[in-house]
Amino acid sequence: ATSDWSGSGGGNDGKMWDFQLCTTLVDPIGFSEESMFPAREWTYEELTKYCQLRWGKEITPTPFALVTNLGFADLVKTGTSRILFTNGLQDMWSGGSYLEDVSDSILALNFENGAHHSDLSHVGPSENDTEDIREGFVQVTGILETWLDEIKEESEN
C-alpha cells in the first residue's frame, strides 16, 4: 500500500515520496472511472489511517503545512527569495504550481513540451529532449549560477 496509489515507486525514493504525501505534501487524488488508474475515492480519514499504520501514530497528514509553516500563502511578505519553479506544462502537476514570476527572485519557468520531471535532469539535456527543455536547462543553470555567486558574495561581506 502507498499514499499515492498511482505508484510512488520503490526503494528510498518511493519511501521519501510516500512520507511527504503523509506529512506536508498531502495530495487528495481520487481516481474516477475515466482515469488510467483503478477507480478509488480519496478521503482524509483513509489517508490518515494508512499513514499512521505505515509511519507511526504520531504521523498525521497536514494538508496546509506549506502555507501555515512556510508562508506559501504570501512568499514575498515572508521575505522569501531565490526560488525557481520549473513547470513542464504537459504535466498535470503544473496546475498546482506558480506559473508566473512572483517577484524578482521568485521565478517561474514554463516548458510547453515539458512532461513530468523532464525539466529536472541533473546531467543536462539530451538529444531526445525538446528544444524548450534544452533552452530551459541553459536558463536554469544561468539563474542558479547567478544566485550562487550572489550568496557567495554576501557571505564574504
Look over the chain and give the mean of its residue pLDDT values, rounded to a whole number. 86
Q: What is the distance between the alpha carbons of residues 60 and 47, in angstroms, rounded to a whole number?
A: 9
Each residue of 102-145: pLDDT tens digit? 999 999 999 999 887 777 777 778 888 899 999 999 999 999 99
The residues, ordered by sequence, that sit 6+ positions from 101 with a Cβ below 8 Å of its Cβ are: 107, 108
Instruction: Give the percent of the chain with pLDDT over 70.
Output: 92
Q: Which helix (H) or strand (E) holds 110?
A: strand 106-111
Q: Are 22 and 61 in contact (CB under 8 A)?
A: yes
Each residue of 36-81: pLDDT tens digit? 777 778 889 999 999 999 999 999 999 998 888 888 888 888 889 9
| HEC-encoded secondary structure of 31-42 | ECCCCCCCCECC
pLDDT confidence bin for 93, thresholds 50/70/90: confident
Q: What is the pTM assigned to this prediction?
A: 0.72
pLDDT in the model for residue 8: 57
pLDDT in the model for residue 134: 92
pLDDT in the model for residue 2: 53
Q: Which helix (H) or strand (E) holds 74?
A: none
CA distance between the termini of the chain? 51
Which residue do the cell numbers 521565478 mark? Answer: 107
